[in-house]
Structure formats: C-alpha cells, structure tokens
Amino acid sequence: MAFPNYVGLEYSDAHDVSSTRTGNLQLGQLGMTPDGNIYRYCQASGTGIAAGLFVVGESVPVHEASATVAHAIGTETVTVTASGVSADDYRDGYLVVQAGTGAGEIHRIASNTATSGGTIQITFHAGDGLKVAWSTSDTDIDIFTALHGSVVIAPVDGQQLAVGLTQGIIPASNFFWALAQGIGTFMVDNAGAAAGLELDEKAIKQSLSHAGQGFIDAAPDATKILAGFRQQLGYLLQEEDVVDNEMELAQITLL
C-alpha cells in the first residue's frame, strides 16, 4: 500500500495542538502547507514548551545485550527484556539489531506492551517481520523511542539534533506540528548580534546561553560569513572534466 509523503495542511492546521493524537498520524509524519512550509508531527514531553523554540527528541535506548528469546524469520511481534515500560512508550520508535546475528536490521515499532515479568512485546508494522532469525547466543538489540516523541526544549550544550521549531505555545504531553523547513519565527538569543548589522543577520545556530533559542553571531568575520556560510546548493556528481562555464551533473539539495 502506498502512503503520501506529506499530509496536506491548511494554514490553520499547522497550529493545531491536541491532547490526543490526530487520527492515524505517526510521530515524525511530514505535513506541508500550501506555501511549501514543511512540518513534523511531534509530541511534547511532560513539560510545556513556549513558542518560537527549537526542540530535540529524547531517546535513550534500552539495550538488551543478548536476545533472551529466539525468534524466527518473519516474526512481527518480538519479546525484549525491559523494565518500567508502559504500553506504547515506544510506538513510532525503532528496534535496531545492534550486533551479532541479524546486525543492521531496523524495524519501525507499531506498538508495545507494558513490562510484565521483566519483558515487553514489541509489534512491528504488518509485513515488516524479521529478515534474519534471532540467536540467543549473540543477537544484541536496542529499542529507541520516537525521535519526534517526548520532545523537549533544545538544551544549551548545542550538541543535540533539533527536530523542529514551535510556532505556538505547546502544553505538556500535547501533539503538535513543529516547523522543520520554511518561513517561521524563532526566539533570538539576545546575547547575539547588534540590531541592524547586515553581516550579523545570516547564520542561525543553537544558543549556548538560552535553551531553545537561536543564536546569531555577535561579531562575525566578513570573510567567514561570505565564504564559509554560503548556501550549500548540492553536490557535484562528476569528479573529472569539470570545466568553467560548462554544464555539469549534480545532485541539488535546495530542500
């Protein structure tokens, strides 16, 4: 069955915030408004988030060093050792065979049960069964929560991947559309640039002073701005016979 790459959103839809999941939307689902803005469907953590802040996903994997239950090829519901897990904590997350037999397999999680007897059952999407049987001697498994689930304000270490930008106030645990690409508003780190300096108003980085804000360099070097911060247009596919003022084959990455 084919699935659309994007959910079509009206402008008002992009501001929808709900305490419950909308329909069958998956966390991380792409949405697009008529102007081409692209959004990701997210869920806030147990703490509310203000408008105009960059958010990151919290995903600390549960690691089962060696599979305790053997499963055959094609199995779509597997048993994994895990404690303190509630039902569907890992919905829309991923199970990865990290090492050993089956290493490299990755499966999107459709649902999971709560911990019972020290284990949980994880169900994949229909038809996405194991490609390699699990071995209890060396199959190592990691399970990750959804990257766009339980999102929190980007911390000031600036080292975590921002997955979206809030465009309104998001109450705790609510579902919402976070701006991933396009025209939007963000909270500026006031430790950044002086107003009105053209060179200051180019590259936006994660703030190291104010959680979730975007930092603008206060004292940029003109050469760095004009050279190092030029827009990345794509990648040249040819490595030979590149000639000035002639057409060459390229992969363009403007989105």
* CATH number of the structural domain spanning residue 94: 2.40.30
- Residue that has been written with the tokens 């806030």 in this structure: 44
Instruction: Please indicate, yes or no, if residue 135 is contained in any of the structural domains.
Output: yes
Find out whether 139 and 97 touch, Cβ atoms under 8 Å: yes
Q: What is the mean pLDDT of residues 155-167?
A: 90
Q: Does 240 have pLDDT greater than 70?
A: no
User: pLDDT over 90 for what percent of the chain?
Assistant: 65
- For residue range 211-229, what is the model confidence (pLDDT) as tens digits? 998 887 666 566 555 555 5
For 177, the 3-state DSSP assignment is strand
**Domains in the chain: how many in total?**
3
Instruction: Please indicate, yes or no, if residue 189 is contained in any of the structural domains.
Output: no
* Co-location of 127 and 77 in the same domain: yes
So what's the pLDDT on residue 190?
Answer: 66
Q: Does 2 have pLDDT greater than 70?
A: no
Q: Which helix (H) or strand (E) holds 223?
A: helix 222-223
Instruction: Please indicate, yes or no, if residue 249 is contained in any of the structural domains.
Output: no
d(CA 84, CA 116): 9
Q: Does 3 have pLDDT greater than 60?
A: no
- For residue range 44-72, what is the model confidence (pLDDT) as tens digits? 999 999 999 999 997 788 999 999 999 99
Instruction: Please indicate, yes or no, if residue 213 is contained in any of the structural domains.
Output: yes
Residue 206: give the domain boundaries: 198-228
d(CA 105, CA 135): 14
pTM of the model: 0.84
